Amino acid sequence: MIIDILQISRDAREAKHRFDDVIDCSIGMFIDEDGFVGGLPVVFDAFKHMPPELLIPYPSVDGGQPFKDNVFKWVFQAYEQKIQDSFNYFVCATPGGSGAVAAVLRTQVPKGEQVLVSDIRWQYDRFSEPAGIFLHSHELFDGDKFNFASFKKELSYLCKKQNKVVVIVNDPCQNPSGYTLTFEEWEQILSILNEHSSNEIVLLYDIAYIDYSCEIDQRRKASALVNLKDHVQIFVTFSGSKTFGAYGMRMGALIGLSRKADFLKDAREKVLALARGMWSATPTPAIELLNLMFEEERKPDFLQGLAKARQTIIRRGHLFLKQAQEVDLPLVPYINGFYTIVKCPNSYACYEKLAKNHIYAVPVEQGIRIALCSLSLKDIDGLALKLKSIMFCS
Ligand SMILES: Cc1ncc(COP(=O)(O)O)c(C=O)c1O
């Protein structure tokens, strides 16, 4: 199904001029309860006051040392030392998490080969198609849990066909389901990767929503990466768009982790060469804005703003889930996050029915994607019942 999400958002904006009951569930950005896009005014304030020398010059292709240190520290936090003790690593600035995903798929997958992804997933197809590579899917769910049988089966299938297999895992707050793996599920995934020791396995760990997870220790799963064996190479893709609520800045980073120094050196060189020839460099304002957020006088405000945004996402998810359960609205397994999916058989017809009733949401293979990230608690209150009565009436 080819869907133009931007067109749906445009339709919603137009409808807002004509009707006052429009609910736009299509926007994939966090909007706070006061309507502030991104939810982190401290980031915008810092941007407004940035001097020309932090905005105008060309940056280093990899983002420069302060950026690389800041990203590494932020991503691994309490486990920074543990990761450094276990792996060689590199960090490279990328235009958003998207740039990091593109860099891995372009540099690690030979043309014509396949990458393991889940059937319910973000649009990795956008990156694979122009790269001349293919996606091969496993089922994400077995009931309301991760589908290990399918993951194992499809991974084994690819391991027989190819020596090198890139496996994408998007966690926590998987887009678009809103599922978050339990720690035990994550450990089991890592041990399945460990079993394929005659292959070269590359784990692309997409942590775009890590800072919005309802997990108590949001970095515990990253710390478990040390349990991977030497045949598993790791690329962590980080999205500053989400963490800093700076979607249009194109702030992101790729972190490569490996016990094989040669592999890592080669991987880093390939990523830098790709960057130079493809997007040249990540915008200077994005790099410097991230650095500013870690300066002593701003960091407390940033942390406080992010904590508030995360709590809001969690509260919205709880409210929607509670009301969905009350009215028996069928959802794919949801824990928390920016999105959830209401299951329905003919999602395009449901999308049309909803739009007629001034509710704009995105049809996906399994149903209708609801972007809780951009809806206020007021809009969410009662939404489950509205969806149920519109989508499931004949
Ligand atoms: C799962 C996932 N990964 C990566 C990204 C990339 O985000 P960006 O390029 O905006 O940083 C997104 C954005 O929606 C996403 O949902």
The 3-class SS string of 27-77 reads CCCCECCCCCECCCHHHHHHHHCCCHHHCCCCCCCCCCHHHHHHHHHHHHH
Mean pLDDT of the chain: 96
Q: Average pLDDT, stretch 38-47?
A: 94
Closest CA to 311 of 247, 360, 377, 253: 377
Residue 340 Cβ < 6 Å to ligand 1: no
- For the chain, the domain total comes to 2
Among 265, 293, 321, identify where a domain stops. Answer: 293
Q: How many CB atoms lie within 10 A of CB 386?
A: 17
Residue 357 lies in a domain: yes
pLDDT at 2 over 70: no
Q: Average pLDDT, stretch 76-99?
A: 98
Residue 176 Cβ < 6 Å to ligand 1: no
Q: How many CB atoms lie within 10 A of CB 280?
A: 12
The DSSP line for 293-350 is: HTSTTTHHHHHHHHHHHHHHHHHHHHHHHHHHHHTT--BS---SSSEEEEE-S-HHHH
| Residues 229 and 333 grouped into a single domain | no
Q: Average pLDDT, stretch 284-303?
A: 97
| Residues 134 and 259 grouped into a single domain | yes
| Residues 15 and 66 grouped into a single domain | no
Among 26, 71, 105, 239, residue to substitute to test ligand 1 (most atoms within 8 Å of Cβ) = 239
- How far, in Å, CA of 44 to CA of 101, rounded? 26
pLDDT at 1 over 70: no
Residue 45 lies in a domain: no
| DSSP-derived 3-state class of residue 361 | coil
Q: Average pLDDT, stretch 344-369?
A: 94
| Residues 260 and 358 grouped into a single domain | no
pLDDT at 393 over 90: no
Quote the tokens at residue 340.
């959830």
Residue 198 is part of a domain; what is its CATH number?
3.40.640.10
pLDDT at 372 over 90: yes
| Residues 185 and 264 grouped into a single domain | yes
| Residues 262 and 372 grouped into a single domain | no
> What are residue 239's DSSP bridge partners?
252
Q: Average pLDDT, stretch 271-296?
A: 97
| Residues 108 and 189 grouped into a single domain | yes
Confidence of residue 5 (pLDDT cuts 50, 70, 90): confident
Q: Does the model's pTM come out above 0.75?
A: yes
Residue 304 lies in a domain: no
Residue 27 is part of a domain; what is its CATH number?
3.90.1150.10
Residue 77 lies in a domain: yes
- How far, in Å, CA of 120 to CA of 140, rounded? 6
Which pLDDT tens digit goes with each residue over 139-151? 999 999 999 999 9
Confidence of residue 179 (pLDDT cuts 50, 70, 90): very high
| Per-residue pLDDT, 154 | 98
- Phi first, then psi, for residue 94 (nearest 5°) are -140, 155
Beta strands in the chain (DSSP E): 23-24, 88-94, 114-118, 134-138, 141-142, 145-146, 164-170, 200-206, 232-239, 252-258, 339-343, 359-360, 362-364, 367-371
User: Domain limits at 346?
Assistant: 5-39+310-391
- How far away, in angstroms, is 98 Cα from ligand 1 center? 6
Confidence of residue 3 (pLDDT cuts 50, 70, 90): confident
Residue 305 lies in a domain: no
| Residues 164 and 108 grouped into a single domain | yes
Residue 301 lies in a domain: no
| Residues 338 and 385 grouped into a single domain | yes
pLDDT at 178 over 90: yes
Q: Average pLDDT, stretch 209-219?
A: 97
| Residues 242 and 271 grouped into a single domain | yes
Residue 252 Cβ < 6 Å to ligand 1: yes
Residue 122 Cβ < 6 Å to ligand 1: yes
Contacts of 143 (CB under 8 A, 6+ apart): none
| Residues 28 and 111 grouped into a single domain | no
Residue 166 lies in a domain: yes
| Per-residue pLDDT, 4 | 80
Closest CA to 210 of 180, 249, 166: 180
Q: Average pLDDT, stretch 367-379?
A: 96
- How far, in Å, CA of 237 to CA of 208, rounded? 7
Among 175, 205, 212, 338, residue to substitute to test ligand 1 (most atoms within 8 Å of Cβ) = 175
Q: Average pLDDT, stretch 262-276?
A: 97
| Residues 244 and 358 grouped into a single domain | no
Q: Average pLDDT, stretch 168-172?
A: 98
State the angle between helix axes of 65-76 and 284-293 in degrees (0 to 180), rounded to the nearest 10.
50
Q: Average pLDDT, stretch 318-331?
A: 97
Among 259, 293, 327, identify where a domain stops. Answer: 293
